[in-house]
């Protein structure tokens, strides 16, 4: 596997975050983005365990971020529906997190946007899931 240079990494992060801010939330926090990407990387992750994967994330922040990515946001308004919370069959009071097809589609489109930006700069493209 080829390693990214620092310039490439910085550019990828900037393009991805700008894209998310344009499409989802102008004030998008890095911790909120990490909740989405961690859910993508660990399907079925317990909501309580997000803090174990994201350094410094409190359980209350994790809960708010998950709600923002879910069907309804923390204010009860329709959300973006990128993450689904399902009750854990082993313990119904616990929620398991999954990226929805809509969330997967969005992550794929964001990957394409990053790839186009990288190509313009003459940098190799990233793979889409």
pLDDT in tens, 6-62: 877 787 777 777 777 777 666 677 788 889 889 999 999 998 899 888 888 888 888
**What mean pLDDT, rounded, does the chain reach?**
83
Q: What are the b/e assignments for 4-42, b being 16+ CB within 10 Å?
A: eeeebeebbeebbeebbeeebeeebeebbbbbbebbbee
* Residue 44 zone, left/alpha/beta (φ > 0; ψ -120 to 50; rest): left
CA 88-92-98 angle, to 5 degrees, is 30
Domain boundaries, the chain: 6-120
Class at the top of the CATH hierarchy for domain 6-120: mainly alpha
Look at strands 45-46 and 83-88 and give their pairing.
unpaired
Q: Which residue did the predictor score with more confidence, 90 or 9?
A: 90
Taking the C-alpha atoms of residue 14 and residue 75, their distance in angstroms, rounded to an integer, is 29
pLDDT in tens, 92-110: 888 899 999 999 998 888 8
């Amino acid at each position: 596997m080829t390693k990214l240079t620092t310039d490439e990494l910085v550019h990828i992060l900037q393009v991805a975050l700008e894209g998310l801010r344009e499409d989802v939330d102008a004030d998008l926090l890095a911790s909120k983005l990490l909740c989405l990407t961690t859910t993508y990387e660990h399907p079925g992750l317990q909501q309580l365990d997000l803090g174990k994967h994201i350094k410094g994330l409190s359980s209350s922040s994790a809960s708010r971020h998950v709600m923002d990515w879910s069907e309804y946001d923390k204010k009860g308004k329709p959300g973006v529906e990128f993450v689904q919370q399902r009750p854990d069959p082993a313990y119904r009071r616990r929620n398991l997190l999954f990226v929805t097809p809509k969330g997967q589609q969005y992550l794929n489109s964001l990957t394409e946007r990053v790839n186009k930006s990288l190509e313009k700069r003459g940098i190799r493209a990233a793979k889409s899931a």
